[in-house]
Structure 1
Amino acid sequence: MSNDSGIFDGRILVVAFEGWNDAGEAASGAVRALKDSLDVVPIASIDPELYYDFQFNRPVLAGDDDGRRQLEWPGAVVYAPVSPGIRVDPLDDDGGMHAAGSGVGNLYLLLGTEPSRSWKAFTGELIDAALASGIDGIVLLGSMLADVPHTRPISVFVSSENPQVRSDLGVERPTYEGPVGILSVVGDAAEAVGIPTLALWASVPHYVHNSPSPKAMLALIEKLEQLIDVTIPRGDLVADSAAWESGIDALAADDEDMAAYIEQLEQARDTVDSPEASGEAIAQEFERYLRRRGDGRGDKGDGRGPDEPWRRD
């Protein structure tokens, strides 16, 4: 997939929400990493009283640099570049801590928590902020629990509801039907007002769903770099990703059932990835895999279904 679409040469809003769409905190973690490497300022936010049930999404106490505690409320914030349109040359960056490339000055961010109620009004506020900022396209980041092995590269499924984006980038139209998260609502509202959208979904191994997945965060960052002329610093993510994988390896070494299950996932993934694999061979391998998982170990864990089933990009 290459970026041949002029849509992604303009102002792009990258969106992620904590909650149902954020398995392993991969989507929100990727946008936080991007926020830390950009010079951005908040330009819009929503009133949490209107959209959150605080018994479900509770405010938290956090200390600042001076040791003072303050309340942080759930919400959603839109960030804009301090210097819109600026290009940052990698050679101008000291220490490699800042994003670089011609797309840096066109990146806007939306980071928040999935709301508890009034989704239409919530989405309307965010779309109004996007229109006021002259956003040309929206990239929706999500992560889902899936039957994938932690030992293989994290799959990122890329899709779009927009015919022009699909044609320009050679991506698929999503076919999922069923319950959705706030990302789908935001995407639908954006397309309705003429803002084209693209969705990136990372697959997180469901058997480690309780821990953040830096490997999935990296996969989303790398896919985003393919779409936009921007280089995003990795920081500690590479080392954290290796430690995450090693930690799961250690757990599997002490659990024969887990090790056997991971081996099944690896065989299925390798069959799909093999150059000589035909569609029929892939289908047969997954039929065998599905029969083997009849003991229930293929369950998605916490029930937080994705907006898209697992697909390989």
Structure 2
Amino acid sequence: MTTGSRILGGRILVVAFEGWNDAGEAASGAVRSLKEELELTEIFAVDPELYFDYQFNRPTIGIDDDGKRSLTWPSTVLYGPSVPGEPSESLAADAEMQVSGANDGNIYLLLGTEPSRTWKGFTAEVIDAALAADIGGIVFLGAMLADVPHTRPISIFTSSDNAEVRAELDIERSNYEGPIGILSVIADAAERVGIPTLSIWASVPHYVHHAPSPKAMLALIDKLEELTDVTIPRGDLVSEAAVWEASINDLASDDEEMASYIVQLEQARDTVDSPEASGEAIAQEFERYLRKSNTDGKAGDGKADGRDGKPGDEPWRPQA
């Protein structure tokens, strides 16, 4: 098992956006969970007037800590440690956690809403902020809806366009071609200025209509911890993931068709994961589900909207 990356051993920026790249709110939820567990402060925010269509991403109103009604505008914010390089007090004080890494004071987070316009200018601002913070590597978190069972471990796909990162971590380069989200645009810009990047995608069961998906959030954080030199607090995600899975089990117990479909997905997943499964058997099982998905309308043709049924830098999603 990978125990950390030399390339990702410095200041790491973990990125997630709400929207197209965020099935089950898994990616944004994972970063939001990290924000709650780590001691970080806001160091940069984009001007929402420049990048968001408020008819598409509307501002919200709520009650603040002082009991006053306040507006929250869609935006993107960069968070970082108050004193970079020093372990946070919350990590040191957690009696249930043994810190195995030395990089917990170097985690930065970028969290926000995918912009509606001016992506080039938006990306330039984000890259400038990353360079100003002396970011040494960027990890992008994403989530896609897929034909996977909720009862099995969440499938994770890791890729990088950086040859050095791929060689060190023994991961693949995505062969996806088609429409992309803002994650891919920022990744391309980062690589062009010399910041190595890595993408981690979780597969969220498409038949689970309610969000968020804490099990997928947890899987993303688990993989992030595996690839970086830091132990990451999980907060309540472990118990929330168990409750999430149990609630879906309850729904399936009252829905014979749903339960039968889940059994089919479990059988397909177990076939792929079995030690004796050959590459040919796995390919045949995968192709069978692609054909079935295209017939049933669970996946598109991979031409117009990126839904090609393959893991990669961009999600494929069920049709409405």
TM-score normalized with structure 2 length: 0.90
C-alpha distance in 1 between matches for 2:64 and 2:30: 23
C-alpha distance in 2 between matches for 1:306 and 1:4: 32
CA 1:21–1:308 in structure 2 vs 1: closer, same or farther (change >3 Å)? farther
CA 1:287–1:167 in structure 2 vs 1: closer, same or farther (change >3 Å)? closer
Unaligned runs of 5+ in 2: 313-320
Instruction: Check the 8 A contact 1:145/1:306 in 2, yes or no.
Output: no
Size of the alignment, in residue pairs? Answer: 309
What is the percentage of aligned positions where both structures have the same residue?
Answer: 66
Instruction: Check the 8 A contact 1:48/1:73 in 2, yes or no.
Output: yes
Alignment of 1:158-177 (within 5 A): 158-177=158-177
Unaligned runs of 5+ in 1: none
Question: Which letter maps to 1:309?
Answer: K
CA 1:69–1:43 in structure 2 vs 1: closer, same or farther (change >3 Å)? same
- Aligned-residue offset at 1:90: 8.4
- Aligned-residue offset at 1:305: 5.3
Instruction: Check the 8 A contact 1:214/1:241 in 2, yes or no.
Output: yes
Counterpart of 1:37?
37
Instruction: Check the 8 A contact 1:37/1:99 in 2, yes or no.
Output: no
Instruction: Check the 8 A contact 2:5/2:228 in 1, yes or no.
Output: no
Counterpart of 1:310?
311
C-alpha distance in 2 between matches for 1:103 and 1:197: 17
TM-score normalized with structure 1 length: 0.92
| 1:283 matches 2:300 | no
Question: Which shows bigger deviation, 177-186 or 282-291?
Answer: 282-291
C-alpha distance in 2 between matches for 1:128 and 1:291: 44
CA 1:137–1:294 in structure 2 vs 1: closer, same or farther (change >3 Å)? closer
Question: Which letter maps to 1:64?
Answer: D
- Listed one character per residue, the Cα deviations across residues 86-126 of structure 1 (whole Å, up to 9, x for unaligned) are 13588831465998841111111100100000001000000
Counterpart of 1:6?
6
Q: Secondary structure at the match of 1:142?
A: strand
Instruction: Check the 8 A contact 2:4/2:226 in 1, yes or no.
Output: no
Instruction: Check the 8 A contact 2:4/2:228 in 1, yes or no.
Output: no
- Listed one character per residue, the Cα deviations across residues 45-74 of structure 1 (whole Å, up to 9, x for unaligned) are 100000000000000012122221110000
Instruction: Check the 8 A contact 2:12/2:139 in 1, yes or no.
Output: yes
- Listed one character per residue, the Cα deviations across residues 246-304 of structure 1 (whole Å, up to 9, x for unaligned) are 1111111121211111111111110110000001111233344445556616348xx98
CA 1:258–1:268 in structure 2 vs 1: closer, same or farther (change >3 Å)? same
Alignment of 1:58-207 (within 5 A): 58-87=58-87, 92-94=92-94, 101-207=101-207
C-alpha distance in 2 between matches for 1:33 and 1:188: 26
Instruction: Check the 8 A contact 2:136/2:196 in 1, yes or no.
Output: yes
C-alpha distance in 2 between matches for 1:234 and 1:244: 16
C-alpha distance in 1 between matches for 2:58 and 2:150: 31
